[in-house]
């Protein structure tokens, strides 16, 4: 009886786990675009400059933002 109870609890715990979302911000590019859509928007980080992103966002419901996860190197000390 205990084995059946633990089996049911185990299966319930496995089924209740939700999948983790994918990483939204690509750390290799400094600029991201956020696009709004009816079914939900998305963020895409694949731009090397703000001007490149603005050209892509032109005419769409989108705006550009700096990537918060892009590694910024501190200035070197002498």
What tens digit of pLDDT does each residue of 5-37 get? 788 887 776 766 666 556 678 888 999 999 998
- Is residue 5 domain-resident? no
- Is residue 8 domain-resident? no
Domain of 46, in residue numbers: 23-70
- Is residue 77 domain-resident? no
pTM over 0.75: no
Q: What are the angstrom distances between the C-alpha of 55 and each of 6, 9, 41, 43, 65?
A: 57, 53, 18, 16, 13
What's the structural domain count of the chain?
1
- Is residue 35 domain-resident? yes
What pLDDT does 21 receive?
58
């Amino acid at each position: 009886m205990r084995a059946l109870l633990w089996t049911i609890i185990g299966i319930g715990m496995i089924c209740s786990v939700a999948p983790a979302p994918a990483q939204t911000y690509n750390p290799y590019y400094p600029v991201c675009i956020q696009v709004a859509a009816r079914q939900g928007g998305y963020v895409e980080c694949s731009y090397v400059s703000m001007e490149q992103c603005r050209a892509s966002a032109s005419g769409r419901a989108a705006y550009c933002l700096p990537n918060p996860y892009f590694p910024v190197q501190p200035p070197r000390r002498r």
